[in-house]
Amino acid sequence: MFDWIQQLADWLVYDVLHLDPGNNLSEALNFFLYDSAKILILLFIVIFFMGIINSYFPIDRVKSYLSRNKLYGLEYLMASLFGVVTPFCSCSSVPLFIGFVRGGIPLGVTFAFLITSPLVNEVAIGLFVGLFGVKTTIIYVVSGVLLGTISGVILQKLKLELLLTPWVKEVIATAQREQDIFNEERQTLSQRLPVIWKEVKTILRGVVPYVIVGIAIGGLMHGYIPEGFFEKHMAKDNLLAVPIATLLAIPMYSNAAGILPVVQVLVAKGIPLGTAIAFMMAVVGLSLPEAMLLKKVMTVKLIATFFGVVALCIIISGYLFNVIL
């Protein structure tokens, strides 16, 4: 789908700037150009369509339904499963996260989606089957869904709504006011579009600087991490390899498809599969660029709590993977 962006990035870096393929600067710049263009396009598409959906979304009814009905945790599982079928990386999942919050979905349920969406999708599943076999893939998919579900439940119990930023609270309030107007006047989609477009521009202006800074950091990490760095710190004889792998992965940024070949190389070099998968989960689900983008919608305390809970669950999953596999 985005091959043309990669070709454009290659042309700019190698043909226009005449940088040599394989050196640190060209790798970092290529990564930055490709991911910036891809994520900004995804951001626009997702925010625009979520704006249309939210203009019709019965916010009051959803809040009322969730407050009156006990779903016994199924709402978290459903959000995680929805994350499986949405092929987004961690940064491009954030607009949907905002859309869910605007729509009155509980924060923990929204977190369940945000965690699972980048971890498990059809591309990652297909690659996983080819690289590691069906059994490992099933275990990975189930653990990814459970990771999102359990983390969402824990985060909901912590009652973190007050730690959303004033900006996102205003976005939520604006969404409620706009929907009241839409419903009262029974506006058609064409009548709603100017308001939706205005909201799209507001959200884009708010999040794009964070996206650019985050991807720039990810590009530097991608291009300048020395060869053999991870093998040195994640050896199988190190009992702390899983938490170390998780912590080393957080500053990095990639999607599941991009990091899986790296995982294969790590496993081939003797790193336990569970440790390598914990590393992959942290790269995909807990990246520094994602934290930069979330800074617009969450306070630092909320981001730290979110990362801490998910990192702990990833570490436990890594140890369990090593035992099972």
Strand partners, 164: 298
Angle in degrees, CA 43, 12, 127, rounded to 5: 55
Alpha helices in the chain (DSSP H): 3-10, 24-56, 59-68, 74-84, 90-102, 107-119, 122-132, 134-157, 166-185, 189-224, 229-233, 241-249, 256-268, 273-285, 288-294, 300-324
Q: Residue count of the chain, please give it.
A: 325
The domain ranges of the chain are: 3-324
State how far the Cα of 50 lies from the Cα of 207, in Å rounded to an integer: 15
Residue 312, number of CB atoms within 10 A of its CB: 14
pLDDT tens for each residue of the chain, 325 residues long: 667 888 888 898 888 888 888 777 888 888 788 877 876 776 677 667 766 766 665 545 555 554 455 566 788 888 888 777 665 565 556 666 776 776 667 888 888 888 887 777 666 676 677 778 888 888 888 888 988 899 888 988 888 888 888 877 776 666 666 655 555 556 677 777 887 787 777 767 766 776 676 567 666 666 666 656 666 667 667 788 889 888 888 777 666 666 776 777 677 777 888 888 888 888 877 877 777 777 777 888 988 898 888 898 889 888 988 888 7
